[in-house]
Amino acid sequence: MIRSPVVAGQFYPGSSDELRRMIESMVDKRAEKVDVIGLVSPHAGYIYSGAVAAAVISRVKFKDTFVILGPNHTGRGKAFSIMTKGTWETPLGETEIDSELGKRILASSSYLEEDHVAHQFEHSLEVQVPFLQYFKPDVRIVPIVISHASGAMYKKIGRELAGAIKESKKGIIILASSDMTHYEPHEIARRKDSQAIEAIVDLDGDELLRRVDEFHISMCGYAPVVSLITAAKELGAKKAELVKYQTSGDTSGDYGSVVGYAGIIVK
């Protein structure tokens, strides 16, 4: 099946030329590129979060396939949803799902189910794809949506994902899609987000979950990030680095109610 874009013309430009120009204006062509196991990237409208997404993806030495983990904003479909076949379309063209890897991940997972419904109207994965296409037009993806559950489930998904990646012997990067604090004053958002970012950079998924709960951090993609941290450590991750952080207020000038965005690489 072809998964057609649902937020083109809203979260990012609907025409290929305009979208390419916008991404080109945000990426850092001089950035030092490094080998990464994974990354955290935001998924809001490009005018707000695009600079952070561009900064973090500019640091990445690309591999053949990205496993994209995102939260479920719509409530549709299976709780833990993977697509193992088909094509994702954006104004920049079509990107194929890595079916071999997707089926391997599905076979090794205790929780993931084959499902396209959760992906049909979910923006958190879609907005990552044009950035990947810009840097590598023939990139392939494996899209996975993770709904709210227990920390133990997020970590098991991560361990099983790492096992499938090891077995595949392919060049694979895990991308966790998440925005940070939602709709709080700028300084409060920065303070809360620094707590979450510190736990992510320390590669401590349990601490991230604890801080999200203790400090009431409205980080929508904490589940995908915990799965990423778990998988990355299984794959040999030793450290992580915050590449860029800002809030929507840095773009809009409205600091009374902002959303936070963090770009982090795991290597």
DSSP code of 158? H
Q: Residue 100 — pLDDT band, cuts 50, 70, 90?
A: very high
What is the rounded average pLDDT for all residues in the chain? 98
Q: What distance separates the 2 farthest-apart alpha carbons in the chain? A: 48
Band of the pLDDT at 103, cuts 50, 70, 90? very high
Residue 238 CB-density burial (10 A; 0-12 exposed, 13-18 middle, 19+ buried): exposed
What pLDDT does 65 receive? Answer: 98
Cross-strand bridge partners of residue 113: 81
- Confidence bin at 260 (pLDDT 50/70/90): very high
Mean pLDDT to the nearest integer, 53-57:
98
Length of the chain: 267
* Structure confidence at residue 5 as a pLDDT band (50, 70, 90): very high
Q: Where are the domains of the chain?
A: 2-266
Mean pLDDT of 141-147: 98
**Token reading at 124:** 């958190």
**pTM, full prediction:** 0.98
Q: Which of 17, 31, 21, 106 is nearest to 62 (CA)?
A: 31
CA 109/CA 106 separation, integer angstroms? 5
Residue 78: what pLDDT?
97
Percentage of residues of the chain with pLDDT beyond 70: 100
Contact 201, 264 (CB under 8 A): yes
Q: How far apart are CA 52 and CA 180, in angstroms?
A: 12
Say what the pLDDT of residue 98 is.
98
Q: Residue 179: name the closest of 70, 88, 38 by CA.
A: 70
158-193: pLDDT as tens digits: 999 999 999 998 999 999 999 999 999 999 999 999
Structure-block tokens of residue 221? 């993609």
Residue 194, C-beta contacts closer than 8 angstroms, at least 6 positions apart: none
> 28: pLDDT confidence band, cut at 50, 70 and 90?
very high
What is 2-266's CATH number, 3.30.230.80, 3.40.190.10, 3.40.830.10, 2.60.40.10?
3.40.830.10
The confidence band for 49, taking pLDDT boundaries of 50, 70 and 90, is: very high
